[in-house]
Amino acid sequence: METPHPVKLTVLGAGPGGYAAAIRAAQLGAEVTLVERERVGGTCLNWGCVPTKVFKAAADTMEQVRRAGRMGLAVTAAAAIDLQALATRQAEVVRIQADGIHRLLRQHHVRYLKGEGTIPHWGAMRVQLPDGGTETLAWERLILATGSRPANLPALPFDGRRIWSSNHVLALTRLPRSLVIIGAGVIGCEFARILNAFGVQVTLVEMLSRLLPLPAVDADVSKVLQREMRKRDIAIHLNHRVSGCRVTADDVEVLLEPLSGEGDPSGRGTKICRAEGVLVCVGRIANTAGLGLEGLGIATDAHGGVPADARLQTGAEGIFAVGDVLGPARPMLAHVATHEGLRAAENALGASRAMAYNAVPLVVYSCPELAGVGLSEAQARARGLPTSVTRVLFRNVAKAHILGAIEGEAKIVAHAEGGRILGLHLVGPEAAELIAEGVAGLQAGLTVDELADHLHAHPTLSEIWQEAALKAAGRPLHG
């Protein structure tokens, strides 16, 4: 009897979506080739999540050293950032992760092919190899995981000298004295925190009316973050759009135009911000140009993303898409990409499972950290749900006092009838870690009463959930 041949599956892009898809497809018996033009790990590992968190860890340590006196320690020398040493540490952390990914690919017999892939027609991929040659691969299933790149502002094109993307900032060899950050989204707030801790004078400009103006970020936690950033002397201009800039020999003049009626048409309300550099972080654009998608009948949407159905299949049979290449219509987050990668591989090989987005944690490594999962209060009300909200301050939790980090709060958004949890939000110490319990609770469909009955070890920061749930259930203890 003839044995069926393994399905030939090609993945284009080896970021957290692509390499996860490749491994899962290999586990399911496919013959997998993973094509990547740069490095395994994609933006997340090389220019995003991982290197920025190495910077963030240094920023946290700086802050701890500065606050050492309050913790009962006498530290005599001032902490100073050593960018060279930090770059070495960053490279080492990235190398360890990259080596791990290569090892996993080898263990799963995934063929890793370095080169730039384009798709001349259904079933084929042409790969431009680094040595100048080309190789053509045959595939029966294709997973697109080509990611995204920083979006430009036409008035401020990146030059790497004075006008930077997040990639440029990570490669700086000297810190600027001052920096204007355009866009108070996730990247803007994270870099504001890091560079402020490093001693850079930071000005943050956002055209909407609050920090992190994403629907899923609750307005109350955003307000707390704004207060804490101002306490750290970060200048914040909300409701201002950057309308132009002038690069001089030693600095940049950025023009801020007031929105929402603050200014007047004569331009008299326009402000000028002067700084050594400008970081533009106004979103990311899907990497789709030049892949050959048009020839496959795959049209990109208004934001350049690839539309896909609930199973992550694009408009072309057998071609799936995962991660940032799907565009901002879905969360552009590394952990979402990984889950989409696993799901797409399974669906490409015969399963039919929809990707669920109802319990996606969003974490912002600001100071303090901010995290949320599920609906914000505004989203719940906009859906017409009878909504109850409960807020508890971190200062009600003993561990926050022990750590000397009492700023911030937790908020539970629940259904007013029955108490089913709809969303959980935090701003405060270790919010990025604490949200994991929120994800589990939301996914399990818990009510506030059920969450209140979970035992939380004492003293831990996780007790903030117990306090918030007890209060939401009408039986507050400390909160």
d(C-alpha 263, C-alpha 21), whole Å: 50
Please tell me whether residue 286 binds ligand NAI under the rule CB under 6 A.
Answer: no
The answer to whether 367 and 190 have CB atoms below 8 angstroms apart is no
Q: Which amino acid is at 448?
A: V
Rule CB under 6 A: say whether 205 interacts with ligand NAI: yes
Cα 406 to Cα 228, 269, 397, 435, distances in angstroms:
11, 38, 8, 17
* Residues near ligand NAI (CB under 6 A), total: 26
Q: Which is nearer to ligand NAI, 282 or 312 (CB)?
A: 282
Measured distance CA(439)–CA(170) in Å, rounded? 31
Catalytic residue among 109, 335, 456, 458: 458
Q: How far is the CB of 25 from ligand NAI (least distance, A)?
A: 25
Compute the distance between CA of residue 184 and CA of residue 205 in angstroms, rounded to an integer. Answer: 6
The verdict on 322 binding ligand NAI (CB under 6 A) reads: no
Smallest distance, ligand NAI to C-beta of residue 382, A: 19
Task: Note whether 467 binds ligand NAI by CB under 6 A.
Answer: no
- Residue 368, interface with ligand NAI (CB under 6 A)? no
Instruction: State the nearest-atom distance from the C-beta of 324 to ligand NAI, in Å.
Output: 8
CB of 362 to ligand NAI, least distance (A): 6
Q: Does 241 bind ligand NAI (CB under 6 A)?
A: yes
- Tokens representing residue 442 in the block: 């939301």
Closest residue to ligand NAI, Cβ-based?
185
Helices 334-348 and 16-27 cross at an angle (nearest 10°) of 30
Residues 262-281 vs ligand NAI: string with x where CB under 6 A? -------------------x
Q: Does 115 bind ligand NAI (CB under 6 A)?
A: no
Task: For the beta carbon of residue 324, count every other beta carbon within 10 angstroms.
Answer: 32
- Omega prior to 154 cis, within 30 of 0: no
Shortest Cβ 190–ligand NAI spacing (Å): 6
Smallest separation, CB 60 to ligand NAI (Å): 15
Residue 248 structure tokens: 């001089």
d(CA 232, CA 243): 27
Choose, by CB under 6 A, the member of 33, 117, 206, 422 that binds ligand NAI.
206
Q: Is 183 in the site for ligand NAI (CB under 6 A)?
A: yes
Q: Pick the closer one to ligand NAI by CB: 111 or 241.
A: 241
Dist. CA 337–CA 326, nearest whole Å? 9
Token digits of residue 459: 């003293």
Q: Are 162 and 277 in contact (CB under 8 A)?
A: yes
Return the residue matching tokens 């970081």. 279
What's the helix, strand, coil split of the chain in %, to 5?
35, 25, 45
213 near ligand NAI (CB under 6 A): yes
Binding-site member from 34, 94, 184, 195 for ligand NAI (CB under 6 A)? 184
Q: Please, are residues 461 and 468 in contact by the beta-carbon 8 Å criterion?
A: no
207 binds ligand NAI (CB under 6 A): yes
DSSP H/E element including 136: strand 134-138
Q: Cβ 11 to ligand NAI, closest distance in Å?
A: 21
As a whole number of angstroms, the distance between CA 206 and CA 224 comes to 16
Which residue is listed with tokens 């050492």? Answer: 68
Kindly indicate which of the ranges 111-119, 202-210, 368-376, 405-413 contains the residues binding ligand NAI, using the contact rule CB under 6 A: 202-210
Near ligand NAI by CB under 6 A: residue from 143, 187, 217, 464: 187
Asked if 282 touches ligand NAI (CB under 6 A), the answer is: yes
Alpha-carbon gap, residue 237 to 370, rounded angstroms: 20
Give 65 or 255: the residue with its C-beta nearer to ligand NAI.
Answer: 255
Q: Is 458 an annotated catalytic residue?
A: yes
Provide the token pair at 309.
């159905």
Identify which of residues 284 and 456 has a Cβ nearer to ligand NAI in the complex.
284
- The yes or no reply on residue 153 touching ligand NAI (CB under 6 A) is yes
Nearest in space to 251 (alpha carbons), one of 309, 187, 201, 318: 201
Q: Does 370 bind ligand NAI (CB under 6 A)?
A: no
CB of 334 to ligand NAI, least distance (A): 7
Give whichever of 282 and 355 is closer to ligand NAI, judged by the CB atom: 282
Query: What are the structure tokens assigned to 289, written together?
Result: 């140009």
Residues that bind ligand NAI (CB under 6 A): 48, 153, 182-188, 190, 205-208, 213, 241-242, 281-284, 332-333, 363-365
Query: Catalytic residue positions?
Result: 458
